Structure 1
Amino acid sequence: MRLKKYTDYSLRVLVYVGSKEQDHLSSIKEISQAFGISQNHLSKVVFHLGKLELIQTIRGRSGGIKLLEPPENINLGEVIRKMENDFVLIDYGQKESQEEVLKPSDQLKYALEEALQSFFFVLNQYTLKDLLQENDEATKILHLEK
């Protein structure tokens, strides 16, 4: 399974903003520079995260972005479900003619559904706080500074 870049960027925004002091307001420019992501893409992600009430966006010269909830209340499984709009693991297409398109067996459908449920079972066990735990290697990789 592959998550969209949009979801990856959303998680990066949450990790970046969550890694700062609670009263610190991060900017899109700051996050863009930290991860090398276009400010235009991040603007769309930040807008969506705001609509989902995961972050608070404060407009104006001294504005910025901060978490709306404590990191321990932000569940990774829920975030990914909200950011991804489609969890079809295999697209079997439409009928192109009178002939039936090859369809999977019921057992294959069951196996794929079970795999998807297992994927979310694991993610549901983690919160943003878990991603923010002191880990010097992760901090270096993500270029985060406290």
Structure 2
Amino acid sequence: MRLTVHSDYALRLMMYLSLRKDDSLSTIDGVAAAYGISKAHLMKITHELGKKGMVETVRGRQGGMRLAREASAITVGEIVRACEPDFALVPCMEAEAGNACVVMPACVLKRALATAAAAFLDVLDGYTLKDLIGPTAALRQLLSIDAAGSPERFAKSKRRSSLTASTMNKTS
């Protein structure tokens, strides 16, 4: 079983938003820069998760996005279900009748795989976003989010410091 890139990015986005303090807003640019992923893909994911009630978006110049609910109230399973098209692990599990297998009337495989997929989702339902961000300080550092929860300001000052250091090295 393998999750799509779409689900991977959605989980990363939700973890990022969970790391923010209070109701502060994050931007697509900030998240994309932190993870090195596509802004266009993040926009699509944000829109979908917004429709599912997991992300709140604020339009305008000072706009952005934040979690619509507490991190402890959003499960990993909920996010994966919102992003994965289906969990048909083999063609015979799909709804179309054209995928019928010759052994379907006596097959136990379909039921076994359906049980496995359900167990997978049950395990994911046991984890919340809050659980995923347990090593908060380390994650904030890796994603350039300062202790106040501001990625853009921290990232800019970090870049400015490295630019100043590299400029000083060149002039020396």
Shorter-chain TM-score tier: 0.7 to 0.9
Give 1:106 shift.
Answer: 2.2
Per the normalisation by structure 1, the TM-score is 0.85
User: Are the equivalent residues in 1 in contact too, given 2:49–2:82 (CA < 8 A)?
Assistant: no
Partner of 1:53: 53
**Between the two proteins, what is the percent identity of the paired residues?**
37
Give structure 1 stretches of 5+ with no counterpart. Answer: none
Corresponding position of 1:89: 89
Q: Report 1 or 2 for greater relative contact order, CA contacts < 8 Å, sequence distance ≥ 6.
A: 1
Question: For this pair of structures, how many residues does the alignment match?
Answer: 141
User: Contact conserved, 2:19 with 2:140, CA < 8 A, in 1?
Assistant: no
TM-score normalised to the size of structure 2? Answer: 0.73
- Structure 2 CA distance for partners of 1:86 and 1:60, relative to 1, 3 Å: same
Match of 1:143 in 2: 143
> Deviation digits for residues 96-126 of structure 1, max 9, x if unmatched?
xxxx855455211121112111101111111
Q: Deviations over 1:11-54 (max 9, x none)?
A: 11100011010222100000000111111111111111111110
Which residues in structure 2 correspond to 1:74-85 (within 5 Å)? Answer: 74-85=74-85
Q: How far apart in 1 are the matches of 2:112 and 2:19?
A: 38
SS at match of 2:66: strand
User: Based on CA coordinates, which of the two structures has the bigger radius of gyration?
Assistant: 2
1:86 offset after TM fit, Å?
A: 1.1
Q: Deviations over 1:54-89 (max 9, x none)?
A: 011001111111111000000111221121121110
Matches for 1:126-137 after TM superposition, within 5 Å:
126-134=127-135
* Secondary structure in structure 1 of the residue aligned to 2:65: strand
Task: Indicate whether 1:11 and 2:11 are aligned.
Answer: yes
CA contact (8 A) 2:28 2:39 kept: yes
Tell me whether 1:123 sits opposite 2:116 in the alignment: no
**Does residue 108 of structure 1 match 2:113?**
no
Tell me the amino acid that sits aligned with residue 6 of structure 1. H
Give unmatched runs, 5+ long, in structure 2.
Answer: 148-172
CA contact (8 A) 2:74 2:129 kept: yes
Superposed displacement of residue 144, structure 1? 5.3
Query: Could you tell me which amino acid in structure 2 is paired with residue 143 of structure 1?
Result: L
Return the structure number with greater helix share: 2
Amino acid at match of 2:41: H
